[in-house]
Structure 1
């Protein structure tokens, strides 16, 4: 009989932790899992899933306009946030129930409370009880960061946006990463007047420059008031500020609205205190109904007891692990966003699978973080796999095959939106080092293109594939001449 209560104790009920617990349970291991919030984690409850449903909802406004241009006689009303929100919450409840049942059916014992590490083999629950385990897996994810600046408490984060009682008339989004840009498109599509500040020279830092530029242009075309090289200096409740402001207000209705307590004071709930006055680095002063911070995420390692037992924590709060997701304490492992490696849900799931294969199946399996396809659900959508043009030319001589054009659907009704199809090719090996797509349904396309890139396909392999006509993606196999070399 084991001297431990469990073979594995998982802290965190998100996608990675649940998958690891389930798969470990299937090996015959005795497994427990603790989750202090809702099962499903960031992705299911306050990330990928509700965000993508909001993306779907936001695209109908443009679809209605296109339908009219295509000859349909259409009469539409305003977007009903309350009806959508009610259905959204029902869907999230359903998905959380599925996660709970998956664990139950896998024989995993669950604890609906916070847990922290007491020693190398002991977990302490919030109620004071302790449980021992041969192995401990940390899969607690991360949370949105809020900048350290005056008035930051009046803003909301991506965690909060799904719980808004009503949509604001105006919103300032601060940040230029994928979360900021995705919500800029979502809120604009839902009828909110959106202004976006990003301190850098161009949004989506780290992605292919040509794709970034096209996406920024597309966001502006769709109505996002995007300001790069701009940040917030100060925020305060509009009622606490002199109404004679330079630059006017972003919403006359917002400027005159009363905050909940009628005194212009913070009521203890993030983002519910009323219209907010904002001063920016470009000298502007504006008032917005809501300010959304999308300025990065921080691993949830605070007060987990990790450093006390010898687990090394990085400068950004991440758990330091090796290629097998093992910490400096041999019995403690970590996967997912808490390690700040590649912060994507499918990656966390694969890390959980590799952990089980290594620890419970006796088959040491390093995590493969190479050539991971991903999608950014901006409007226009972005799919990418492999190296950007900038990264590739730093490594070797390359050829760039790219085309940008108005797709048939938009050209027919004289809309100006453009798409991009781009391949980065090694001059020496002819391998496709990167593929970048900016277009409707780019995420669907890049999943399939990612298979070819992961297999090491060459440009000539792409060329041998017959085009599917008429499609946007046929350009991936019909580009014969490089537009430039580097």
Structure 2
């Protein structure tokens, strides 16, 4: 019998923590407990990917009505009813949270609905003062959005608040140029909100392929988002029931709402880490080795709190690797290489591997790319352009990067990701027969490079 209350104590009930707890308890018979101070499901389920994607779906119906008319359907546009959608959204999130709670219960994990912090390498203290001991402790507390330090920043909201608005604003300023800012710009614009986006950099979606993000920005502007690059907020103040905003370019404007999507930080404060001398990085992230272990051998951390690759499926993979390593005696490092990902901007973007710029810095490359108007939209008279792009090593012929900007790009990149992960060459793509007529067939029909670098 163990000297501890539990074999594993998990702090954090998001995707990574729940998976690790559930698998450790269900597959290895470990005695497991989990503490969560807020809602189960974490950022992804409660205030991230899931509600965001449902909002993306909601926002895309506006164009569908126009398209349907062009295809001969006699249907008339109506108004979007935010309260109707929001009620259904809240019901769905409640349902998903219930599923997460049941998964833990059915796996035999004991849950505590309160905050937990570390007291020593094997002890956690709950908010009510109760102390529990565990052979292993796993921190999976995720991250949170932060507002910039400017006068009046408290008047703004973050992505956490967007789902709870009582009414949709008539106008909104979104500050930031990452995928969260850009996705919400598309969503709110699609829902009929007059949307302005400020980003201090030269182009949105920094770190992604230049050509792909350039097209996304161009199309967002075409769709009616008022994007201002090289622009940031200096100060804000309340003016009547609006927010007065002064920009770095000297502009002064009024908005109903301002949303900051200017960065996220790991949730690792006030957890007792300093007393245990558990190292933290520059952004406050918990420093771990390749097996997600901290400098204190009994304490591990996974997911966004480690600021490695901040994606839900990655946190889940890290949780599984942790269980393999610690409870199944099979040391497993999570694989962070060639992770396919989708950005649900409008247009959508899917990407795996290296951008053209990063690949060209490493070795001589060939670029195969095509941009065109897809059949469905062009028939309806819409001018939306799509991009299919492969970045290929001249030497090995391997596809180093694949970038798609198109409706359904996320669905396409999942499958292209398998090929790229397997090390497919350009010739492997060429040998594959096209599925016609589809947008994605262009992936296997591009014969000559558009440029080399």
TM class by shorter-chain length? over 0.9
Matched residues in 2 for 1:309 and 1:432: separation?
45
CA distances 1:61-112 after superposition (whole Å, capped 9, x unpaired): 0111111111111122210000000000000000000000000000000000
What displacement does 1:391 show? 0.3
Structure 1 unaligned spans of 5+: 240-273
After the TM superposition, which residues 332-411 of structure 1 pair with which residues of structure 2 at under 5 Å, given as runs?
332-411=299-378
Matched residues in 2 for 1:190 and 1:76: separation?
12
Counterpart residue number, 1:314:
281
Partner secondary structure for residue 294 of structure 2:
coil
Counterpart residue number, 1:3:
3
Q: Does 1:419 align with 2:420?
A: no
Matched residues in 2 for 1:107 and 1:316: separation?
35
What displacement does 1:414 show? 2.5
Matched residues in 2 for 1:113 and 1:234: separation?
37
Counterpart residue number, 1:22:
22
Q: Does 1:67 align with 2:34?
A: no
Q: Does 1:120 align with 2:87?
A: no
Matched residues in 1 for 2:49 and 2:275: separation?
33
Matched residues in 2 for 1:195 and 1:66: separation?
25
What displacement does 1:5 show? 0.3
Counterpart residue number, 2:213:
212
Matched residues in 1 for 2:142 and 2:257: separation?
26
Counterpart residue number, 2:12:
12
What displacement does 1:234 show? 0.5
Among 397, 402, 412, the residue aligned to 1:435: 402
Partner secondary structure for residue 307 of structure 1:
coil
After the TM superposition, which residues 191-230 of structure 1 pair with which residues of structure 2 at under 5 Å, given as runs?
191-230=192-231
What displacement does 1:413 show? 2.4
CA distances 1:443-486 after superposition (whole Å, capped 9, x unpaired): 00000000000000000000000000000000000001000000
After the TM superposition, which residues 27-176 of structure 1 pair with which residues of structure 2 at under 5 Å, given as runs?
27-176=28-177
Matched residues in 2 for 1:206 and 1:219: separation?
18
My pick for the range that moved more, 48-57 or 409-418, is 409-418
Matched residues in 1 for 2:382 and 2:22: separation?
49
Alignment root-mean-square deviation, CA: 0.5
Q: Does 1:275 align with 2:275?
A: no
Matched residues in 2 for 1:413 and 1:136: separation?
56
Counterpart residue number, 1:262:
none
Matched residues in 2 for 1:159 and 1:400: separation?
39
What displacement does 1:436 show? 0.2
Matched residues in 2 for 1:285 and 1:238: separation?
12
Matched residues in 2 for 1:414 and 1:23: separation?
51
Structure-2 change in CA distance of 1:333 and 1:111 (3 Å): same
What displacement does 1:416 show? 1.1
Structure 2 unaligned spans of 5+: none
In the superposition, the TM-score normalised over structure 1's length comes to: 0.93
My pick for the range that moved more, 106-115 or 302-311, is 302-311
Counterpart residue number, 1:468:
435
In the superposition, the TM-score normalised over structure 2's length comes to: 0.99
Matched residues in 2 for 1:102 and 1:84: separation?
27
Counterpart residue number, 1:249:
none
Aligned length: 452
What displacement does 1:40 show? 0.2
Q: Which runs of 4+ in 1 moved over 3 A?
A: none
Counterpart residue number, 1:481:
448
CA distances 1:347-395 after superposition (whole Å, capped 9, x unpaired): 0000000000000000000110000000000000000000000000000
